[in-house]
Structure 1
């Protein structure tokens, strides 16, 4: 349960510097609304 909660926090709520300091969920919503631009990630 603890690991599951951490994974949910990490993937949904934690701010990511690579996503304009938004959480992944916020980034998806902002992207859908056209308020942020998509970008290409080079690996």
Structure 2
């Protein structure tokens, strides 16, 4: 039974990587990056 916990951890990691690689869930996309740069610079690009 203990092997289920590492398998679930790996499964979650693989699923999140797959969603990110195929841009299904794109939390940190180009728009996010641009907003972060503008926030750091304090002005619009």
Q: Fold-level match, TM-score > 0.5?
A: no
Higher helix share: 2
TM-score scaled by length of structure 1: 0.40
Q: Which has the larger radius of gyration?
A: 2
More relative contact order in 1 or in 2 (CA 8 Å, sep 6+)?
1
TM-score scaled by length of structure 2: 0.38
